[in-house]
Structure 1
Amino acid sequence: MSVTTRSTQPEGESEYERRKRLRTVTAASLLGTTVEWYDFFLYATAAALVFNQLFFPDESSFVGTMLAFATFAVGFVVRPIGGVVFGHIGDRIGRKKTLALTMFLMGIATALMGVLPTHEQIGVLAPLLLLILRVAQGFAIGGEWAGAVLLSVEHSPKGKRGLFGSIPQVGLALGLALGTLVFAILQVVFDDEQFLAYGWRIAFLLSLVLVVVGFVVRLKVDETPAFQEVTELSKQSSMPIRDTFRKPNTRTTVLGMLSRWGEGAAFNTWGVFAITYATGTLAFDRVPVLLVVTLAALVMAALIPVSGVLTDRFGARQMYLVGIAAYGVLVFPVFALFGTENLAWFTVAMVVVFGVVHSVFYGAQGTLYASLYPAEIRYTGLSVVYQFSGVYASGLTPMILTALIAAGGGSPWFACLYLVLTAVVSVVATSAIRNEDLHLTTGR
């Protein structure tokens, strides 16, 4: 029998103590996810602009880019393993300790990338070491997202579960914005030769400072009331991964993973692939493109809490459906605007589809997926849905789009059809999730 989550306000807690606890939870979730996603997507930006030249220099431009994106995808392949391992730890010993561990591992891996020798210096060992560090990044992020979402959702006040569930999602947008902004600044400060020689490394080494700040804040947060209840009642699952795929959870796990396909494909199209497409096919300068992605990510960060508030009013499933459907409808018009090869229209398209539309469903996603599982297996279940689907929904997207555009002789329309398909699958799967499948409720 599953544990029913108790009130998120501990007995005897004063109003001042409650507000202080919630401020700490908010800071821990937001800072932590910002740092972790900055680290993870910093690699994506570098794969598009740096790694294809420094670590795969003997290949053609197309092959070098594909190899760089292949190592990017490896991080997503490893994420399910990290999700299972850290999900088990999070469901057995708690959310707080697990999150501190994932942040430490991510920070070390990213900082080491900043001092990694290039192919010119150590030959084939360079891409091999890059691959190993990418594996470490993927392993760490595999346990990060679910824990950060649960830290917020399971501490949320009554009637504000959607808003608090959206807070970690803001961290993803801020992490992406911070990464692209830092790269843009470094390319302004340094010329091309200096940037490739050492300038790009500064962005990776900066991770150490961010990790220390996030680590300290996370150590101050209390364990969630839901996990405390599970512990007090001795209801921990002996094997959370098994129970995630055992009835009645089998259905929600499959539907959750399918519903994520559109979101993962969308994010990695607009946040990762678009950088390569704009600087390569459209021949835009790198700095303006990075600034456009930064702007879109900042708009997303500002609007995600709005999505969280609307989630509390209308429900997580409904908000997710509306956003995913809008993404599917806009794919062809967005690429048509890209095709004008006009930076202004590129900016408008990115702000609308990435900044506005993505915020609608991404703000509701954490709360929706947290609702799919009872507290005793929630960390593992949430990790499975998000990280297993990330392999095909997120990690492979840049490679698939690059290959489809090449197959179409440079035309993006095959790629657009693929993206629309991901939206259709997600809409159907989300629609199939029933109210009785949800263990946490939102909306009126």
Structure 2
Amino acid sequence: MSRTASEPTPIASHSSPKDVRRVVLSSYLGSTVEYYDFILYATASSLVFGPVFFSNLPSGAALIASYATFAIGYLARPLGGVIFGHFGDKIGRKKMLLLSMTIMGVASFLIGLVPEIPTWGALFLILLRAAQGVAIGGEWAGAALMSLEHAQDGKRGFAAGFTNAGAPTGAVLGTIALSVAALLPEDDFLSWGWRIPFLLSAVLVVVGLFVRARVAESPVFLAALRKAEDEKTQRRADAIPVVQVLRRPKVVIVAGLACTGSFVMQALFSTFMLAYASDNGVSSSAALTAFAIASFFAIFGILAAARLSDRFGRKPVMLAGLVGMAVLAWPLLILASSGSFVLVVCSFVIASSVLHALTFGPMPAFLAEQFGTRARYTGASLGNQIGSLLGAGFTPMIAATLFASAGGANSVALYLIASCVISAVVLVFFVGETRFTDLEPHSRQEYGVENPQTLTELSDPGNS
């Protein structure tokens, strides 16, 4: 269709290869910092916080209370998604990403300084964990969008996949840091050794902020702003992004549910399974080392899955991971409880580097492509936080409770299988393929929420 005289000249929606590489590196480092802090808190909640901050409770109750503080971070994430998403959709992605990384780094550093004072220590821990959650709620979507919106069509999944590839990188660094600290005598580790990895997070934050300050704003976002001005549609564009998203809540709810199974896998193998393996014959340090090995290979698994999603679509790749985990959940739990370091490593590698990677690699592009540019930050963030809250926020506590009250690993396996099956069903019946979605603001739809191709199967892109 020809362009009329009244239509504005389109703004370039792609960056130079050098700018793309810089943005991708920035997103990768931001996610690395985020998940370094995440894995520190997750593993510390399994091994440290119970005896340190809830020593007045029986060991099982202390572990559940520790996991409850872990869940608080997930409860705070949607708030962060709304706040950072609002301003990210209004004034740009870059400023919000600088702010979110700063908050995350400061909160993590202060966790390393929380005093072991009954009640007050636990309260400080909860407040700082909530601050982490708010920051993470704004970090992930902005980082994914920056990579996605700078990349060329056909390479969006791979570029955005670097955001999630930072997760296992941060997990490797965090796990290694805690593993080294765990080599200390137990009393020293519980009294001061666990604090060192949290304090070292300040180094990662400084590096991440240096790189992030040098990236350019998203060209797709700038094009959307220019389009709004040229077409005098600023009033509609200036509507509150979260209101735009919630006008059609089905999109964000379905997208979040489709990702729930992936987050259950992530949380289960980074918290409960560490304690489960160490309770069944391997040391805590060995369990952390096994998880670090799996996380290292997961970096490449996530990037490979993201690349496959550009070739075959987001849905088929994510479904392969969900179905695979549903089939192999019980055998993987058996391997994790074998008491053999080699078999524990195999369990973690298959779960994290293959099955979880297949669901996690395409996820940034999958979520971001559900929404128009002027509500994309808010929508993608809320979708991600819904999935992470339902899938990861309560999983360690649920798994520990099921294990204690329902007779062991069978109930945990069933919980994992059920979450994967539900996510797969949602993907099959309610979500359309999104890899051919047009991100550029060429139509009025761009100022709304739902991309017209997200909830139904796409037609042949050659016909569009």
Q: Deviations over 1:124-150 (max 9, x none)?
A: 111011111111101110111101100
Could you tell me which residue of structure 2 aligns to residue 306 of structure 1?
304
191, 198, 206: which is aligned to 1:197? 191
Provide the identity percentage: 35
Q: Give runs of aligned pairs for residues 234-273 of structure 1, distance below 5 A.
A: 234=228, 236-247=237-248, 250-273=249-272
1:393 equivalent among 391, 394, 399: 391
State whether structure 2 residue 223 is matched by structure 1 residue 229.
Answer: yes
Structure 1 residues 294 and 74: CA distance shift in structure 2, 3 A: same
Task: Indicate the residue corresponding to 1:135 in structure 2.
Answer: 130
Q: Distance in 2 between matches of 1:443 and 1:26?
A: 29
Partner in structure 2 of residue 437 of structure 1: 453
In 1, distance between residues paired with 2:55 and 2:251?
45
User: Which of 112, 115, 125 is the equivalent residue of 1:114?
Assistant: 112
Q: Does the CA-based 8 Å contact 1:311-1:443 persist in structure 2?
A: no
* Residue identity opposite 1:286 in structure 2: S
Equivalent-residue separation in structure 1 for 2:149 and 2:336 (angstroms): 41
The aligned residue for residue 351 of structure 2 is 353
Is the contact made by 2:281 and 2:340 (CA closer than 8 Å) also made in structure 1?
no
User: 1:294 — aligned with what?
Assistant: 292
Which residue in the other structure is 1:14 paired with? Answer: none
- Deviation digits for residues 224-271 of structure 1, max 9, x if unmatched? 111101211235342111111223xx3322211211110111100112
Whether the 8 Å CA contact 2:13–2:220 is kept in 1: the answer is yes
Length-normalised TM-score, structure 1: 0.92
CA deviation digits over 1:63-93, x for unaligned, max 9? 1100100000000011011111111011011
Show the counterpart of 2:14: 9
Structure-1 separation of matches of 2:259 and 2:238: 25
Report the equivalent of 2:69: 71
**1:152 and 2:147 equivalent?**
yes
Size of the alignment, in residue pairs? Answer: 427
In the TM superposition, 1:7-156 aligns within 5 A as 7-9=12-14, 18-118=16-116, 122-156=117-151
C-alpha distance in 2 between matches for 1:308 and 1:134: 30
What runs of 5+ residues in structure 2 fail to find an aligned partner?
A: 1-7, 229-233, 434-451
Q: Contact conserved, 2:48 with 2:190, CA < 8 A, in 1?
A: yes
**Residues 305 and 58 of structure 1: CA distance in aligned 2, closer, same or farther (over 3 Å):** same
The 3-state SS of whatever aligns with 2:315 is: helix
Matched to 2:423, the amino acid is S
Equivalent AA in structure 1 for residue 182 of structure 2:
Q
- 1: distance between equivalents of 2:459 and 2:98? 29
Q: Which moved more, 1:369-378 or 1:338-347?
A: 338-347
8 Å contact 1:314–1:443 — kept in the other structure?
no
Equivalent positions of 1:160-199 (< 5 A) are 160-188=155-183, 190-199=184-193
Task: Evaluate the alpha carbon distance shift between residue 251 and residue 153 of structure 1 in structure 2; reply closer, same or farther with a 3 A threshold.
Answer: same
Pairwise CA distance, 1:307:
1.1
What residue is the counterpart of 2:415 in the other structure? 418
**1:319·1:361 contact (CA, 8 Å) conserved in 2?**
yes
- Match of residue 13 from structure 1: none
CA distance in 2, matches of 1:245, 1:194: 50
CA apart distance, 1:220: 0.5
Deviation per CA, 1:131-188: give whole Å up to 9, x if none: 1111110111011110110011001123211110111011111111111111111223
In structure 2, the partner of 1:369 is 367
Cα 1:426–1:237, aligned 2, differ >3 Å: closer, same or farther? Answer: farther
For residue 315 of structure 2, what is the aligned residue in structure 1?
A: 317
Corresponding residue number in structure 1 for 2:200: 206
Aligned partner of 2:283 among 279, 282, 285: 285
Structure 1 residues 442, 41: closer, same or farther in 2, change over 3 A?
farther
**How much does 1:37 deviate?**
1.5
- 1:270-301 deviations in Å (ceiling 9; x for gaps): 12211111123x14211110000001111111
Letter in 2 for 1:161: R
Deviations 1:188-219 (A, max 9, x none): 3x222222222111101101111111011111
**Structure 1 counterpart of 2:253, which letter?**
V
1:296-353 CA distances to partner (integer Å, 9 max, x unpaired)? 1111112211112111110112211111111111111111223433222221111111
Instruction: Give the equivalent residue in structure 2 for 1:274.
Output: 273
| Alignment RMSD (CA, Å) | 2.1
Alignment gaps of 5+ in structure 1: 11-17
Change in 2 beyond 3 A, CA 1:20/1:54: same
The one-letter code matched in structure 2 to 1:430 is: L
Aligned equivalents of 2:458 and 2:204: distance in 1? Answer: 34
Query: Any conservation in 1 of the 2:112–2:199 contact (CA below 8 Å)?
Result: yes
Runs of 4+ in 1 over 4 A off after TM superposition: 439-444
TM-fit CA distance, 1:7: 4.8
Change (3 A) 1:231 1:441: farther
